[in-house]
Each structure stands twice: as C-alpha cells, then as structure tokens.
Structure 1
Amino acid sequence: MDNLNLRRHISGQFNSELDNIRNRVLMMGGLVEKQLTDAIEAISTLNQSLAEQVINNDRKVNSYEVLIDEECTRIIAKRQPAAGDLRLIFAISKTVADLERIGDSAKQLANVALEKNASKQGHLLVSLENLGRHCIALLHDVLDCFARMDLDCAFEVHGKDVLIDAQYESLMRELMTYMMEDPRAIPSVMEVMWAARSLERVGDRVQNIAEYVIYFIKGKDIRHLDTEQIAELRD
C-alpha cells in the first residue's frame, strides 16, 4: 500500500489487515475476469464443458464475497476506522458486491452456451462475442484502477460505459430486425437478447467500481453528477 500513498498506521497489524483484504479483492476480481472470459469463450465455441465449469466456479465467487464482507465487518468492529480508512472499506465492500454480480452475469452467459438452440445462433453470437470482449477489457482496466487506486484510470473507465451501452443498443436493434424478418427465430434470438442484457449490466457494474475508486480518493460520490460536473471534479 505504500506506493498508493495510502495512510500508514501505528499498528502494523492494521496495515497488514488492510493489505490482505485488498489483495483478496484483487484475487476475487481475477477469478471473476476469468469467469467472464470463459463464459464468452464457451458461447463463441459452444463449449459445453467450459460452460459447466463457469457455472460450477460461481460458488467460488460467492465464497469470496462472503469472506471479504466478514473481514470488512470485523475490521470496522475492531478498528473503528475513520476518514480515508472507512472510505477504503466502503469501496471494498461495494466492489465485491458488484464483482459477485458480474460473476452472476458470467454464469447466465454460460447457460446460454448450454441452451438447446445455441447451435442455431452462431451468426447472432458474433456481435454478442464482440460486446463480451469489450466488457472483459473494461473489467480488466477497472481492476487495474483498483489495484493502483489510480484516479485518472478510474475516470477514464467510468466514461467508457457509454461505449458499451451504444454497442448494446446496436446489437438489440440488429436482433429485433432479425426477429421481424424471421418470427421462427424468436426463441433463439430471445436467448441472445438476455445474454446481451447481462453484458450491458457488466458494463454498469464496472462503472460502479470506478465510482468507488473515485469516492475513496476524492471523498466524493459522483453517481448523480452530470458529465460537466464529473469533468470539473476530475480537473
């Protein structure tokens, strides 16, 4: 934590506790990133074995959330942190909640690869895969922001969610057009739509994590600020 300019404490044990809990968040983040990557790979290759692996590994993601939440509660009760330390614990607690939900999205995506109609969706899954790759890249970037508590990185990632939203909307228009042209394809297209919605939500969760990093560093909640206000805060 020294290279992050985070405040050190007289108690070396407290420093160690904060370091350990941050490291666990990064380990959880790495697992969630792999889950999302594997889920997209399972969809693009229709690899049912890989999809089942993602579904089974979701339990590990959930275990991380419970473990880290318990540790946050213990630190608050034992150390009664204030100011920056309390903001750090808040950022950690909120981050793991969003990581767990991203893990849920990965599980939902894996289920798409197991659907009986999956083999009929190949031409529809190309755009879905592209959206998924962008979500994976954004998740990777925000975990890097969290690891370094990098304010500029967090602002940059926060602004990129609009790109995910635009790609999602474009994909939905494509899918709606396909359904109108071939009503028989509606069941297959609906499955892809649900998967696309899961990925759009991943973008929202990533943006949330960027907001938590900004909150920790600046002490400012930007959730309801407009673009101009966010730009002023960044400057």
Structure 2
Amino acid sequence: MDIDSGRHSQHISSQFNQELEALKTHLMAMGGLVERQVQDAIDALLEGHAHQAQEVCRKDQEVNEMQLRIDDECTHIIARRQPAASDLRLVLAVTRTASDLERIGDEANKIARNALSLIEEGHTNHGFVEVRRIGQQVREMLRNALTAFARFDTELSIQVLHTDEAVDSEYRSSMRSLVTFMMEDPRSIGSILNIMWVLRALERIGDHANNLAESVIYLVKGLDIRHTDISGLDTKKLDS
C-alpha cells in the first residue's frame, strides 16, 4: 500500500497524529543540523577556518543526542500504539534515517578534524578541487534525500540513488590522481593522506544519503531495495 504524498494516515486518536508529526519534525530538524555540519566541515577545510572546524566537532554530541531522542520516541510509539502497516513503516524508516544521519554527522566530524590537521601543518591546498567537486555532489544528495523524505517523493529518491553511482566513480578517479601525485612528490604524502581521508568521508556521506533514499522508497512503497541493482530503476518499475 502506497502512502499518500501529502499526509500520513489520520487516526481517531489526535494524540497519535501529533506523535507521528512530532517524530517527522524532529527527524527533519536533525537532518538540517547534519546538513549544516557537512557544509561547515567542507568550508572549514577549503577556507582554512579552524574555529569553524572546531565548532563542527563540538556539535557532534548534539547530533548524537538528537538520535537518542528520536530512537526513544520511536520505542515509545511502538510500545504504546502498536502501529501497523504504513505507520509502522514510518517509525522504522525514521529509525533507519536517524541512524544514517548520526553517521553522516560522524563523517562531518572526521572532515573537520582533518581540516584542523591541515590548517595546523600549513600545507598547500592540493586536492581541494576534488574535495570541492565531490563535496558539492554529496551535499546535493543529502539535501535531496531529506527533501524526498519530507515529501514522500520516490522519484527524487531514485535520483539520489543514481547520483551515488556518479559519486563513487568520481571518488575512485580522485584517489588514483592523488596516489599519483604522492608518488611524484613524496613531501606531500602527509597532507595528501589527510585529503584522502576527507574524500573517503565524503564518499561515505554519499553512501548514507543513498540509504536515506532507500528508506523513503521503503516508507512509501513498502519495498526494501537494499542490495538491489538500481540500474534502470524508475518509478514505473517500483509500481510494477
């Protein structure tokens, strides 16, 4: 059974309706914070802003606390309301999504810490082009995945899934280029390794955004497409 893209099913209990709406609101708030964490971590690296990187690290605990709060809400809804069908899918999808958002926050924290190392060492900005390019791609993936969840938009979710393939290809190409550069200039090994860890974190953020998109499809269509070949996937195939 598909979920209407406008609203979730309404219940006799207005309190239950409020709990479900609050759950979605809290998840979107967590998503907004994590999105800012990723943006700020990348900007701190590219612009050399140590204070901004430190702020990202400081806010990581806030992301963790938001996940715990959401998980607690989901547990209470399952225990008290015993949701069925689409409501249960919503609660499970929120739990999955909160977990992926927390991990994206962890990756943003890693980027910030590597930024601090690069700023402290004062090395050149080699590899920043790759960081900027892949960073822009994964930020778009994350933004689209969160929008897809808010709107129950499977078409936008599929777009995110296909973008992840492009990010993976770009990541592999960038890593080969950086390895070549290290071989040509061994003095750059330390700074390039930091950049490679940043690119790895960005690639992982793309993977988690991909998971968010899969959760939307599960929520709306009731289909678990994890471990499924998504080449050629579109909304018509989801409906077949």
* 1:9 positional shift: 0.8
Q: Once the two structures are superposed, what CA deviation does each residue of 1:5-42 show, in whole Å capped at 9, x if it has no partner?
A: 42111111100000001000000000000000000000
1:64 counterpart = 2:66 = yes
* 1:122 positional shift: 0.6
* 1:3 positional shift: 6.0
Q: How do 1:17-96 and structure 2 match up within 5 A? A: 17-96=19-98
Q: Once the two structures are superposed, what CA deviation does each residue of 1:81-128 show, in whole Å capped at 9, x if it has no partner?
A: 111111100000000000000000100000111105653141222211
Instruction: Please say which of residues 122-131 and 136-145 is displaced more in the overlay.
Output: 122-131
* 1:2 positional shift: 8.0
* 1:137 positional shift: 1.3
Q: Helix, strand or coil: the match of 1:227? A: coil
Counterpart residue type for residue 171 of structure 2: Y
Gaps in structure 1 of 5+ consecutive residues: none
Which has the higher relative contact order, 1 or 2, with Cα contacts under 8 A spaced 6 or more apart?
2
- Aligned-partner Cα distance in 2 for 1:223–1:164: 18
TM-score between both structures, scaled by the size of structure 2: 0.93
Instruction: Please say which of residues 129-138 and 190-199 is displaced more in the overlay.
Output: 129-138
Counterpart residue type for residue 42 of structure 1: A
Percent of aligned positions that are identical = 44
1:199 counterpart = 2:226 = no
Instruction: Assess if the C-alpha contact under 8 Å between 1:44 and 1:126 holds in 2.
Output: no
- Aligned-partner Cα distance in 1 for 2:36–2:143: 10
Counterpart residue type for residue 219 of structure 2: F
Counterpart residue type for residue 196 of structure 2: M
- Aligned-partner Cα distance in 1 for 2:163–2:232: 17
Q: Helix, strand or coil: the match of 2:212? A: helix
Gaps in structure 2 of 5+ consecutive residues: none
- Aligned-partner Cα distance in 2 for 1:30–1:124: 28
Instruction: Please say which of residues 221-230 and 4-13 is displaced more in the overlay.
Output: 221-230
TM-score between both structures, scaled by the size of structure 1: 0.95
* Alignment-derived partner of residue 162 in structure 1: 165
* Alignment-derived partner of residue 233 in structure 1: 238
Higher helix share: 1
- Which residue, 161, 173, 177 being the options, matches 1:174? 177
